[in-house]
Amino acid sequence: MFLESFLLNLAVMAILIIALTLDYVTKFFSYWYVRHIPYKSSIPFFGGDYHRVLGIRSSTEDVNILYNKYPKDKYVGRLKSRIPDLIVKDPDTLKRMLSTDFAHFHSRGLCLDKSQDVCLRDNLFYADGEKWTLLREGYESLLSTMDCSLESLSDCLPGTNGDANVQETLVKVLDKVFEDLLLGNAGGSVIKELRSAIQRRSLTERFKSYLKDIFPSLYVMFGLVTIFGEPSNKTKNEIEQSKVLSQIKNMVNAFQSGGKDKKKKPHSDVEFAYSVIASFITEGYIPCLTALTALIYELALNPEVQEKSRNSVSVHNRDEYLDVAIKEALRLHPPYSIIARQCTKMNHPEGGFLIDRKVTINVPVMALHRDEENYVNANAFNPDRFLEDEGASKHCYAYLPFGAGPRKCIGEQLALKIIRNVSKAILNKYEIEPCAKTPSQLTMVDLNFGRIVDRDIWLRFKVRA
């Protein structure tokens, strides 16, 4: 005992513990201040992330507000819990970080490859280092064998001739597209089950998603899973008969022979195939569904653009009009509103300050797309801007629906082909217009690291003669 009174000793110890705890959680409170970067004020234990933690704002809304609050600054700082977080607004700096200095910003910093969740630990989106390199090579080989044709897509469309739910109409087509791409004649319910599980928005699923995004180490430690964990026997049987399994076997062998961790439990072909199929749904199907919903909605509200897209007119040997309509829908409603990277080595961008290791970098995709400095009348749906040099963005890194640099979305071309073919099939069969239940604007919410439409979108589908 330091003091004679036990209660006094207890009080001193309590004060010391509180002081040390406060010192730990407030250690970086002045991080951006001393670097002369405008920043969001912080509170203990939450940092500057309290609006999202308390459910007042989504991550996208928080980033967009900070982006617009400091229009003249290239950077805005904040803290996530207690870790410094930097929002980068300058396209030239983004180009350096995502491309030129990619070696310093290649990691997402999530460490979810150690998860017990089979759908995460072998997912290209979450992988880093050598594992990412091996997985990317495998996915490139797999994607080179895939083809999305327009044949039979119109047969998947329901015989609607009136008001219809856009998402329900689209999933009937996309289920068929991804079954053909991944399962072939095996068909089955794997795609539907995975898609339904990912779209669930129960309180439990939201909490697990929050842990995965904000505290990935806790997500791994508690052994949580996002979808089913291990595939069921029925699912395994369907995968064993699928066309993707034969293509994945070589990918598994290369992945396991090239990995450094020989003690790790080897992957079975079926388990690895299930992980690949799940990644196609989470990072392919859901973003395509979001993009197509946004495109069909905007075409319904803009009948002249819809007619031009249906006729697919080329202008001055440039992209067909449907292509620029898709490009504009992705600009206005990007499926990924924020791209996150972690600084793996100390970096010195333009601006005179050092970015320390483990600082998170945020690329505010949606804010860049809707910035009047980058686009004229940025909040309007106007595909013509991409047919006119003066109307498009002043900088190529102000348009990032698929990211940029070596870690750019590997499935960009396949995704665009799917969106183009599905929208062509719909435009050829229907004329689309608003109905009484059509919302006045398209609102989206955060789901995992992406964005989804938060309500059913109803439009009138009139069968064309």
Q: What are the pLDDT digits (tens) for 348-385?
A: 776 667 888 889 999 999 999 999 999 999 999 999 99
Average pLDDT over every residue of 322-344 = 94
Least confident of 53-62, 229-238, 303-312: 229-238
Average pLDDT over every residue of 298-323 = 81
Average pLDDT over every residue of 104-112 = 83
pLDDT confidence of residue 234 = 79
Model's pTM, two decimal places?
Answer: 0.89
Burial of 281 (0-12, 13-18, 19+ CB in 10 A): buried
In a domain, 58, yes or no: no
In a domain, 292, yes or no: yes
Average pLDDT over every residue of 186-210 = 75
Statement: residue 261 has pLDDT above 70: no
In a domain, 18, yes or no: no
User: Could you give the number of structural domains in the chain?
Assistant: 1
| Exposure class string for 54-63: b at 16+ Cβ within 10 A, else e | eeebbbbbbb
Least confident of 20-34, 46-60, 373-387, 435-449: 46-60
β-strand pairing of 360-363 with 83-88 = parallel
Q: Which amino acid is at 120?
A: L
Average pLDDT over every residue of 95-118 = 84
Closest Cα to residue 70, out of 53, 82, 87, 91? 87
Statement: residue 317 has pLDDT above 50: no
pLDDT confidence of residue 224 = 77
Query: pLDDT grade, residue 188 (50/70/90)?
Result: low
In a domain, 426, yes or no: yes
The distance in angstroms from the start CA to the end CA of the chain is 92
In a domain, 209, yes or no: yes
In a domain, 51, yes or no: no
For 340, list phi and psi in degrees, rounded to 5.
Answer: -110, 140
- Report the CATH number at residue 321: 1.10.630.10
Query: pLDDT grade, residue 223 (50/70/90)?
Result: confident
User: What range does the domain containing 447 cover?
Assistant: 90-463
pLDDT confidence of residue 271 = 80
Closest Cα to residue 119, out of 264, 269, 228, 255? 228
In a domain, 178, yes or no: yes
pLDDT confidence of residue 74 = 92
Least confident of 9-23, 190-204, 355-369: 190-204
In a domain, 431, yes or no: yes
Query: pLDDT grade, residue 313 (50/70/90)?
Result: low
